[in-house]
């Protein structure tokens, strides 16, 4: 079980779920330079059973028969632990979801690095605001 990292308002924990080497390296280097502790889970099952409690999860969800089910599991997990969720997918159905219908930010994959970076920063800020007010969801 991973040790719980020390958190300050400017140093958050980001869990990358799945993803190829480029996504993992981007998150490690770019988010690490911002002071984020970056952790990795092989897949949704590993994320949910690995003892993680991140501030933000970045999930790479390629389109297949189980994409929507994996996203639902991650949404429930994120809500249970108070984490924000940013999902990258090429699933056209998920990309058409209305933004206001879900606390999850869904981005197309592949995703421009700056778009992903901004989504993580915004999701984390909204998560913190929600914890302070008790009303805001990402």
CATH superfamily of 13-132: Response regulator (3.40.50.2300)
Length in residues, the chain: 138
pLDDT at 137: 37
The mean predicted confidence, pLDDT, of the chain is 81
Cα–Cα–Cα angle for 133, 81, 27, rounded to 5 degrees: 100
| Domain range list for the chain | 13-132
pLDDT tens across 37-84, in order? 999 999 999 998 999 999 999 999 988 888 888 888 998 999 888 899
Cα separation, 85 vs 66, in Å, equals 18
């Amino acid at each position: 079980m991973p040790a719980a990292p020390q958190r300050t308002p400017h140093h958050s924990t980001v869990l990358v779920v799945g993803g190829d080497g480029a996504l993992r390296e981007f998150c490690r280097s770019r988010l690490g330079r911002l002071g984020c502790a970056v952790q990795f889970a092989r897949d949704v099952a590993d994320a949910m059973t690995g003892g993680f409690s991140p501030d933000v999860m970045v999930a790479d969800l390629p389109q297949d028969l189980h994409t929507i089910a994996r996203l639902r599991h991650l949404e429930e997990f994120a809500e249970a632990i108070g984490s924000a969720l940013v999902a990258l997918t090429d699933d056209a159905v998920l990309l058409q979801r209305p933004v206001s219908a879900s606390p999850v930010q869904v981005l197309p994959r592949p995703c421009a690095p700056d778009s992903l970076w901004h989504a993580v920063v915004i999701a984390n800020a909204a998560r913190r605001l929600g914890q302070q007010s008790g009303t805001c969801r990402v």
